[in-house]
Amino acid sequence: MNKRLLALLAATGAAAIYGANHTIAKGLMPNVIEPYGFILLRVSGAAVIFWLISLFYPSEKVESRDWLRILACAFFGMVLNMLMFFKGLSLSTPINSSVVITIAPVLLLILSAIFLKEKITWLKSIGIGLGLSGALVLVLFGVKTQLNAPNIPLGNLLFIVNAASYSVYLILVKPMVGKYKSITLMKFLFLFALIMNLPIGIWEFSEVAWTQLPFDAIWKLTFVVVATTVLTYLFNIYALKQLSPATIGAFMYLQPVLAVFIAVMVGADTLTPLRIGAAILIFTGVFLSSRKKK
């Protein structure tokens, strides 16, 4: 099968899993596990899985000059990114999270202009303005609280930090994906992420009554570790071998469609005119900012 097609399928699979994760992860917090403890579970579980998988592959030496970049990738991709998303999700709602993080392609464009010296046209500037406006509408003018969402504006703001952090990760990790095997990258990234997240999440992790968890909570926790963490990062690393960071970012458009459908179907969230309007602003902004000349 064509490698580019496989990369597109991998990116689609990652977006689909993320779409389901908004509702599944939200249902576990805070009653089953707090957000920082949840992140420690994610990275520790993923680190164990990736190191076990690596036993079946030849070991690969990492050049000394790349360790600093790997540390930075771990921080932005598996520490700051995850902490902000899960803390934001505990404060806000699944639909808000799925809408706000679609601003990542706009942030990717800004960061690419800063670090990669890519030119921003007037059309892209308008797109950036619209996208950021849509995100700010949700942060400043949305419903402040609702059941199981104690601070929606702060949660939405953390989603923006999450999107920015993930955008930085995509730019930093891109040069590495053609240099090393996916398993090599993932096992070291999650090992460093585990070390960084340990002092942050150990208290909340230790408060979970692990032996008394019902099956409903166990399968959801397993889904977040295996599917949302291991599979999505593998899928995106594979996709980055063939696609640009901006193209990967564009697959975030799929997340709100799936997340809204799942959240509304299971009664975890509701659509409002303000959310629809903000989504239109963000989608229009992303469309304009990601357009390329024919």
Q: pLDDT by residue (tens digit) across 137-164?
A: 765 665 566 667 788 888 888 998 998 8
Contact 188, 75 (CB under 8 A): no
Nearest to 39 by CA among 3, 5, 90, 2: 90
Amino acid found at 132 = L
User: Would the pLDDT of 79 be above 90?
Assistant: yes
* Helix and strand numbers, DSSP H then E, in the chain: 14, 0
Q: Tell me, what's the pLDDT at 63?
A: 94
d(CA 239, CA 6): 8
Q: Any residues with CB less than 8 A from the CB of 206 and at least 6 apart, and which?
A: 37
Note the pTM of the prediction, 2 decimals: 0.79
Average pLDDT over residues 249-269: 69
**What are 108-144's pLDDT values in tens digits?**
777 777 776 667 777 777 876 776 777 667 656 655 6
The pLDDT confidence band at residue 269, using thresholds 50, 70 and 90, is low
What separation, in Å, do the N-terminal and C-terminal C-alpha atoms of the chain show?
A: 27
211 DSSP 8-state letter: G
The pLDDT confidence band at residue 52, using thresholds 50, 70 and 90, is very high
Residue bearing tokens 């808000």 = 96
3-state secondary structure of 149: strand
Structure token digits, residue 89: 């999700």
d(CA 118, CA 257): 30
Contact 106, 128 (CB under 8 A): yes
The pLDDT confidence band at residue 292, using thresholds 50, 70 and 90, is low
Q: Tell me, what's the pLDDT at 263?
A: 75
d(CA 37, CA 86): 10
User: Would the pLDDT of 70 be above 60?
Assistant: yes
User: Would the pLDDT of 84 be above 70?
Assistant: yes
d(CA 54, CA 35): 28
d(CA 243, CA 131): 23
Q: What percentage of the chain reaches a pLDDT higher than 90?
A: 36
User: Would the pLDDT of 194 be above 90?
Assistant: yes
The pLDDT confidence band at residue 207, using thresholds 50, 70 and 90, is very high
Q: What percentage of the chain reaches a pLDDT higher than 70?
A: 84
The neighbour count for residue 187, using CB atoms within 10 Å, is 23
CA distances from 250 to 30, 36, 68, 207 (A): 31, 28, 28, 38
Q: Tell me, what's the pLDDT at 145?
A: 61
The pLDDT confidence band at residue 175, using thresholds 50, 70 and 90, is confident
